[in-house]
Amino acid sequence: MFMRERMLLKNKKLLKILVLVLIAAALVAVWSLKNIPVLSSSEKGSIQTSAIPESEGDFALEASEIDLDALKEYGLPIIIDFGADSCLPCREMYPVLETMNAEMQGKAIIKFVDVWKNSEVAADFPIQVIPTQFFYNSDGSPYVPSDTIGIDFTLYSSKTTNEHVFTVHQGGLTEDQMKAILEDMGVSQ
């Protein structure tokens, strides 16, 4: 009888431990669901590159490739944003990109490249974090921001020629900041 009681006590202890582990797992699951952002089906559809209408071509927001030489031939300022639909700051900036792309048709080219889906495109640019934007003037040269713009940019130069090759902003931009940059690039709104 003594062995049976010991066995029951041992099983009760194991059951208590199991219940505590399950409660902890449930708490972790609830915390994860509340704190890890999940894309709604409309958000997923809005960032997918397969949703690009063929008719928009070079002026479509979403791009699975970037032919910079072809874009520069339009003679318009260019902003290329590298991000991902799994990146919260990128998703927060995406509506700004959509609005600016729609408003700037014929005045500027605004592109979005998902770095996870199109990593080969991102390989041609010095990207350290996402979102990151690259800026080109209407003549195809890298944009040089004025001192009064109040936005941090990084200017990259070629190591061999010391020629300015990229103007970069790391992090998200607001619609007002995008408009200020475009105005500084010579786009009238």
| Residue 68, token pair as written in the block | 């910079």
Helix (H) or strand (E) holding 33: helix 2-35
Residues 24-38: tens digit of each pLDDT? 555 544 444 454 444
Q: Which CATH class is domain 42-184?
A: alpha beta
Query: In what order do the strands lie in the sheet containing 132-136?
Result: 109-114, 78-83, 132-136, 164-170, 154-157
When pLDDT is cut at 50, 70 and 90, the band that residue 76 belongs to is very high
CA distance 55 to 177: 29
57 Ramachandran zone, left/alpha/beta (phi>0; psi -120 to 50): left
Reduced to 3 DSSP states, what percent helix, strand and coil does the chain have, rounded to the nearest 5? 45, 15, 40
Place of tokens 């990593």: 119
Q: What residues have CB less than 8 Å from 187, skipping those under 6 apart?
A: 77, 104, 107, 108
| Average pLDDT score, the chain | 82
Pairing status of strand 78-83 against strand 109-114: parallel
Query: Does pLDDT of 55 surpass 60?
Result: no
Query: Does pLDDT of 152 surpass 50?
Result: yes
Q: What residues have CB less than 8 Å from 184, skipping those under 6 apart?
A: 143, 145, 146, 149
Closest CA to 181 of 112, 87, 120, 104: 104
| Residue 147, token pair as written in the block | 């001192």
Residues 83-131: tens digit of each pLDDT? 999 999 999 999 999 999 999 999 999 999 999 999 999 988 999 999 9
When pLDDT is cut at 50, 70 and 90, the band that residue 150 belongs to is very high
Pairing status of strand 164-170 against strand 78-83: unpaired
CA distance 81 to 86: 15
